[in-house]
């Protein structure tokens, strides 16, 4: 507790290796709050600064924290091909409104090894015609991989965009058997 009797927000983070490069995982007492692709030093530093600004407290590097232990285990199992679903508490505080609604639907309604179109996902949340807004929600996803925005594709069969880069999206879809493994 702080000096005013309020429970202090605690944010812990670590960087782990994955099949798509280093990932930064950050968690609060509520659950996993952020996953950041390509977490090299510069990306990591910007991500930690952004978390501090958005959450109002300085994140602490704590790879051994119990707040991160299960997320680390499940993400590693996913990339090892041993896990298809994540069963983690999630802290949704970095996203709200339509974006949160779309991401919750994505997390619960688009299983491993399947894809959904931007427009189809818009329809699932009662906003047919909001495909472009769904694309914006995917770009704002603070929990990629765990909330699987890589599973959202264009209705014409195109792969669509991806904040982690198209090669990363292809690798995730290949891991899930949606696309063939790249030849090189």
Residue with tokens 């005013």: 4
Q: According to DSSP H, which parts of the chain are helical?
A: 41-55, 66-79, 97-109, 118-124, 131-139, 166-175
The answer to whether 25 touches 16, Cβ cutoff 8 Å, is yes
The question of whether 149 is a catalytic residue gets the answer yes
| Cα–Cα distance, 24 to 77 (Å, whole number) | 16
| Catalytic annotation, pick one of 15, 20, 149, 175 | 149
End-to-end CA distance of the chain: 52
Concatenating the DSSP letter of every residue in 2-42 gives: -TTSPPPP--EEEEE--BTB-EEEEE-SSSEEEEESS--HH
Residue with tokens 């782990």: 16
| Cα–Cα distance, 128 to 164 (Å, whole number) | 26
Residues involved in catalysis: 149
């Amino acid at each position: 507790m702080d000096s005013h009797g309020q429970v202090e927000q605690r944010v812990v983070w670590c960087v782990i290796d994955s099949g798509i490069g280093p990932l930064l995982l950050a968690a609060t007492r509520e659950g996993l709050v952020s996953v950041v692709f390509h977490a090299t030093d510069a990306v990591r530093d910007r991500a930690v600064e952004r978390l501090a600004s958005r959450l109002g407290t300085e994140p602490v590097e704590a790879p051994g924290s119990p707040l991160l232990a299960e997320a680390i285990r499940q993400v590693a199992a996913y990339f090892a091909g041993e896990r298809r679903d994540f069963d983690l508490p999630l802290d949704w505080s970095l996203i709200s409104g339509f974006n949160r609604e779309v991401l919750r639907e994505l997390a619960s309604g688009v299983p491993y090894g399947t894809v959904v179109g931007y427009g189809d996902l818009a329809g699932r949340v009662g906003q047919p015609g909001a495909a472009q807004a769904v694309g914006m929600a995917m770009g704002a996803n603070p929990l990629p991989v765990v909330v699987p925005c890589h599973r959202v594709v264009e209705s014409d069969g195109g792969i669509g965009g991806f904040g982690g880069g198209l090669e990363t999206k292809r690798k995730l879809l290949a891991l899930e058997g949606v696309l063939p493994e790249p030849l090189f």
